[in-house]
């Protein structure tokens, strides 16, 4: 996989393989999120703080919101270009965008919000601005605005609830459910309920799923123009995803 860094934009050139797709041959949501996760970490640790520095300080960027615009889904055997760039920081908040293209056609764009977190105290800490200009933000954007002020309305009158058992490998090095797993479960839930892949997904990570939680309940609220999928354990809400078609 070739990596390119130019004008504050970090890029992977990636060939979609058999393990990257769902039964329909489309790039799976989990694999898409894994690519986002990997390129963001690669970009950050190669330009700002190394992985060893992050581990030593017990600090990390934690994803809190994502807005996905799924214009067209890549398929098996396609060669894609995956790019990411920082939109800058505000105290303990960070903003990052992603873009997937194929043959110069934009297929997917994503806008994300992050919090710089002390992993021991479980509380936000201000980001060290001295790391710039080594890690230079970009003004390029596929979205309006920076602060992602949108919200998802939560409703407890859920339909079609399904319990999903969690596995040891679903948890990451910080002993909580990895971000990619939410989207793996989301895609499975959509298929179980015959929900086609949406054009847009907005998702909020409300509360981490720690290692001792071994199952999640997924349910949905169906509105005129969208579905809201809710991830819960007992009475705790962990994740909300709004699907627009």
CATH architecture for segment(s) 159-244: Roll (3.10)
Q: Which of 13, 29, 17 is nearest to 243 (CA)?
A: 29
Query: Is 2-131 a domain of CATH 3.10.129.10?
Result: yes
151-156 long-range contacts (CB < 8 A, ≥24 apart) are 151/204, 152/202, 152/203, 152/204, 152/228, 152/240, 152/241, 152/242, 153/228, 154/228, 154/230, 154/237, 154/240, 155/221, 155/228, 155/230
Q: What is the mean pLDDT of residues 203-219?
A: 96
The answer to whether the CB of 67 falls within 8 A of the CB of 144 is no
Asked whether the beta carbons of 131 and 48 are under 8 A apart, the reply is yes
> Domain ranges in the chain?
2-131, 159-244
Partner residues linked to 100 by β-bridges: 82, 108
Please report which confidence band the pLDDT of residue 235 belongs to, taking 50, 70 and 90 as the band edges: confident
Q: What percent of the chain has pLDDT over 90?
A: 71
Instruction: Report the chain's mean pLDDT, rounded to a whole number.
Output: 92
pLDDT at 11: 97
Which pair of tokens denotes residue 74?
């890549």
pLDDT confidence of 145, banded at 50, 70, 90? low
Quick one: average pLDDT of 111-118? 93
User: CA quadruple 67, 96, 191, 188: dihedral positive or negative?
Assistant: negative
* Size (the chain), residues: 245
pLDDT of residue 121: 87
pLDDT in tens, 169-208: 999 988 999 999 999 999 999 999 999 999 999 999 999 9
Residue 150 has pLDDT above 90, yes or no: no
| C-beta atoms surrounding 83 within 10 Å | 19
52: Cα separation from own chain's centroid: 23
149 pLDDT tier (thresholds 50, 70, 90):
confident
What's the confidence (pLDDT) of residue 170?
Answer: 98
Angle of helix 29-47 versus helix 179-192 axis, rounded to 10: 170
Rounded CA separation 183/203 (Å) = 10
96 pLDDT band, cuts 50/70/90, is very high
10 Å CB burial of residue 188 (0-12, 13-18, 19+) is: middle
pLDDT in tens, 43-83: 988 888 888 888 888 888 999 999 999 999 999 999 999 99
Single out the residue of 111, 233, 118, 122 nearest to residue 182, CA to CA.
233
The H or E element that residue 52 is part of is helix 51-57
Q: For residue 40, what pLDDT band results from cuts at 50, 70 and 90? A: very high
With a cut of 70, say whether residue 212 has pLDDT above it: yes
In this chain, the answer to whether the domains covering 2-131 and 159-244 adopt an identical fold is: yes
| pLDDT of residue 102 exceeding 80 | yes
């Amino acid at each position: 996989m070739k990596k390119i860094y130019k004008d504050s934009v970090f890029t992977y050139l990636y060939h979609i393989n058999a393990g990257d797709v769902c039964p329909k041959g489309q790039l799976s949501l989990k694999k898409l999120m894994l690519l986002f996760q990997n390129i963001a970490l690669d970009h950050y640790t190669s330009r700002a703080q190394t992985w060893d520095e992050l581990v030593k300080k017990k600090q990390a960027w934690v994803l809190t919101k994502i807005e996905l615009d799924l214009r067209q889904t890549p398929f098996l055997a396609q060669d894609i270009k995956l790019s990411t760039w920082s939109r800058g920081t505000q105290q303990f908040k960070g903003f990052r965008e992603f873009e997937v293209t194929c043959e110069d056609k934009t297929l997917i764009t994503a806008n994300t919000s992050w919090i710089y977190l002390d992993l021991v105290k479980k509380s936000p800490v201000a980001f060290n601005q001295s790391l710039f200009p080594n890690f230079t933000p970009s003004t390029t954007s596929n979205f309006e605005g920076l602060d992602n002020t949108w919200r998802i309305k939560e409703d407890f009158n859920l339909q079609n609830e399904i319990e999903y058992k969690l596995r040891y490998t679903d948890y990451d090095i910080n002993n909580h459910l990895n971000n990619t797993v939410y989207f793996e479960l989301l895609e499975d839930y959509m298929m179980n309920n015959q929900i086609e892949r949406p054009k847009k997904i907005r998702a909020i990570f409300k509360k981490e799923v720690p290692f001792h939680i071994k199952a999640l309940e997924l349910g949905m609220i169906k509105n005129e123009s969208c579905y809201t999928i809710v991830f819960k354990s007992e009475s705790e809400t962990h994740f909300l995803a709004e699907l627009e078609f």
